Structure formats: structure tokens, C-alpha cells
Amino acid sequence: MANQEDLAKPPSSLQSFLEDLHCKYKPLQNGAVANYIPELAKVDPDSFSICIVTVDGEVYEVGDSQQLFTIQSISKVFVYGLALEDHGRDYILTRVGVEPTGDAFNAIILDEQSKRPYNPMVNAGAIATTSLIKGSGATERLNRMLDMFRRYIGRDVFVDISVFTSERTTGHRNRAMAHLMLNFGMIDEPIDTALDLYFQQCAVMVNCHDLAVMAATLANKGVNPMTKEQAVNSRYVKDILSVMYTCGMYNFAGEWAYKVGIPAKSGISGGIIAVVPDKMGIAVFSPRLDARGNSVRGVKVCEELSQHLGLHLFECARLVKSQE
């Protein structure tokens, strides 16, 4: 197995490793594209791209890393950061917990005692988080969110209206969760106000390159490595990365932490981001999903990258290296 030394290899070797991974997993067709949001089922299931952006702004990419798709649950990470900036850690903790659930992303459950949703990475917690975003009306709140995504990506972003309306028409399960939270006072506004904003954040269009820059921004203390803009207050980066680490891959989070060992987040459209603090952001896009809603090729690619580059946070070679 390779170790941290690989990070110091000439850039071309990382590029060729990504190309090898792409070739190796291109034939893998296990899994199925999400279709519970009808518009998502129209994606080309064979799409496959990988991108790494380092904190120094180096880019390694393979496949069509410019192909746009909706960000879906990966948005939860960044909106959580905005909510922390809006209200501070203590208040946010009274509304959304930080416990992994071991349940699916769309489970209709709240913490029995506190009535809070378990964490901001599952749908219930994300809807509660979104409902906390400040602004004087729906447009201002959406614009604040879009501006936050712009800081992480380095260009203006927009919402895919057909995916947004498709989910808005069919998202009854999320509506059920929102009702439950309204009942327990975890949401203070009409549920459709919160859900519209949530469905819009999920329908923001990104590509694999964008996702890698966003992940690299989190790796780089909240500063976008390409534009040098501070996308999120650095004091909240550790909170964001902690919940990604323990909850970002839903009911696969434990196995992911064990095998891959870095904070990550997946989305139902087929994206995965992973963050190697102080080093790099990784993004994979491949829409076929496993039973837990994680990209099949995405998981494989991240497992191999972690092993090959020695990225696991508790990798001894890495720990020894950082003490030198």
C-alpha cells in the first residue's frame, strides 16, 4: 500500500492514477439511478467523472467534469455552515443534533427526548437547518444561499427549475417530516416555505469540478483555493467536517469512516465529495446508486484513492509524517 509519499509524487502520477481508476470502474454498472424524483431518472446512467483540487489550487480531473447535475444532499453540508454563521453553534444545537442515525437518509424520525432531528445530513435535519437560514423573505433567503454557493464554487449558480418542481410535486415524504417538526416546534414557519427553499437548494446545478473546489474550500479552512475568497467562517469548518465524518454517508457512515476515513457527503443525483483537511477536496460523479443512496462507483473510487494515497485520518504513516 502506498503512503503519504504519494502526495509528493509528480502531479502526472496522480493524474494517471485517476485515469486508471476511471478505466477500471467505467465498466461497473451495478446500482440504479434515483427515480423517486422523476426528473432525476432522465440522467445518463453512464456519466462518470472524478476531480481532485488541492489546497494549492492544482486540479486533476478525468471524465466529463463539466457536466452539470443537481447537487441534492451535498448541499446540506454548505447550508449547515450558513446556518451556523447565522445563529452560532449553541443555538443550532438546540434545533438539530449531531448524532448519526444508522437509518436511511429519508427516515421519518426525531430524537424521542429532544424532538430534534438527529443530524443535519439526513433529510429531516437538513429541512430544519434550511428553515433557520435568515432573510426577510423567500427571495432574500434563496439569494443568500446562492451567494454562499457562489463563494464556494467561484461562479454564479442557478436552480434547475424542472428538478425543483419535480421534487416539489412529489416530495410527500419530506413534507411528512416537515409536519412532524412543525408539530414539535422544530420548524417555526409554514412547512411549504421551508420545503421550497430546501427543494431549491437541492436543485442547484453543479459539476464534478465545482464539487471538488467546494470540498477543497473546506479542506482549506473555508477559503476557496482558486479565488481566495472566504466562503465560510473558519471557526465553523470543524463543526461541518465533524458531522460529515459521522453522518455524511448516512447508514454507511461507520463503514466509510472505517475504510475511507475522511469526512464525506453523498447526494442522490450521484455525487460524492470527500475532504482531506489541509490537503485536497475530492469529488466523484456517477449516478448509479447502491441501496443506501450512495454512488456505487463513487464509493469504490474513494476507497481506492484513500488507500493509494494514505488519506485515512488515522493512517499511521500520515500521523508520523505530520509530526516531522
Residue from the set 47, 54, 73, 207 that interacts with ligand GLN by CB under 6 A = 73
In the structure grid, which three cell numbers stand for residue 117, read together? 432531528
Sequence-distant (≥ 6) Cβ neighbours of residue 224 within 8 angstroms? 151, 152, 153, 154, 213, 216, 217, 230, 231
Regarding 39 and contact with ligand GLN (CB under 6 A), the answer is: no
CB 151 within 8 A of CB 210: no
Regarding 123 and contact with ligand GLN (CB under 6 A), the answer is: yes
> Cβ of residue 193: shortest distance to ligand GLN, in angstroms?
16
Regarding 174 and contact with ligand GLN (CB under 6 A), the answer is: yes
- Residues pairing with 276 in the sheet: 280
Sequence-distant (≥ 6) Cβ neighbours of residue 289 within 8 angstroms? 31, 32, 33, 34, 268, 270, 295, 296
Regarding 289 and contact with ligand GLN (CB under 6 A), the answer is: no
Regarding 202 and contact with ligand GLN (CB under 6 A), the answer is: yes
Regarding 72 and contact with ligand GLN (CB under 6 A), the answer is: yes
> Cβ of residue 180: shortest distance to ligand GLN, in angstroms?
15
Q: Which is nearer to ligand GLN, 65 or 73 (CB)?
A: 73
Sequence-distant (≥ 6) Cβ neighbours of residue 113 within 8 angstroms? none
Regarding 129 and contact with ligand GLN (CB under 6 A), the answer is: no
Residue from the set 69, 105, 252, 285 that interacts with ligand GLN by CB under 6 A = 105
Alpha helix ranges (H) inside 252-295:
253-259
> Cβ of residue 125: shortest distance to ligand GLN, in angstroms?
11
Residues found near ligand GLN in the complex (CB under 6 A)? 72-73, 105-106, 123, 167, 174, 202, 267-268, 293
